Amino acid sequence: MGIEFDWSTLLIAISFMLVGAFVDSIAGGGGIFNVVGLMMAGLPIHAVIGTNKTSAMFGTAIATHNYFKNGYFDKKYIPFSVIGALLFAFLGSWVGNIMNTESLTNLMMIAIPIVGILMLFGLKPKEHKKELAKKKIYFLSCLVGSIVGFYDGLIGPGGGTFYIIGFSLAGLSLLEANGNAKIVNLASNIASAILFLLKGRVVLWLVIPCIIASMIGGHIGSTLAIKNGDKIVKPAIVCVLILLIAKSIFKF
């Protein structure tokens, strides 16, 4: 996109991308940081989503590799989720691209604080104790990939956490849910990034340093993979909500 190089835009974007990838690799939800950071950097809304998706998929890829090699996934259910995520994330991105800037911006400003509040107070992945029939898990895994994939393609923030919650409720253990979420989130990111790249809605001079920041954050976060990730994520979400409210009030 024809957005001129600016140092403040670059520093704000890569800072938020680094933190976002770190948080996302531990417990999902890093897209809130990425999107808010790019909005604060002054990018138009379509460029925000396109640049975020293209950058984030590399950080997610690093995190996915680390979870995958440590066996934190259930490979039986991944293909069904990935197919749903690929198709519906592409559809969600297509819908987002045809929406006008004002509508998409308003939707984003409504979605981000709602997602943040849900993540902060209500939606927590838990170990699923009840055994479910395999066919039901296959169906629910595909459903999670499709529904969250559409949201992830349309807007994105909180998608990684919603994947974890969805797979946990579908019958996977928390570790398996987390690992599967990373793989499926990567699929939805790839589908969205392809469409936004084809539409020319990615800031190319900005996306390369954001990719590097995302990969570093994803590697550090997934390598730590600490059990008490919520202790990092919750205060971070509060900070983001404060920044978002401040942005709305002071228009910076």
Q: What is the pLDDT of residues 91-139, one digit of tens each?
A: 988 988 888 877 777 777 777 677 666 655 655 555 554 455 667 777 8
Q: Using one digit for the tens of pLDDT, what is the confidence trace for 4-55?
A: 778 888 999 999 999 889 888 876 777 778 888 898 888 988 899 899 989 9
- Residue 182 tokens read as 């990373």
pTM of the model: 0.76
CB atoms within 10 A of CB 199: 16
> Closest Cα to residue 43, out of 160, 195, 196?
196
> Closest Cα to residue 126, out of 27, 25, 226?
27
What is residue 4's DSSP assignment? -
d(CA 208, CA 203): 9
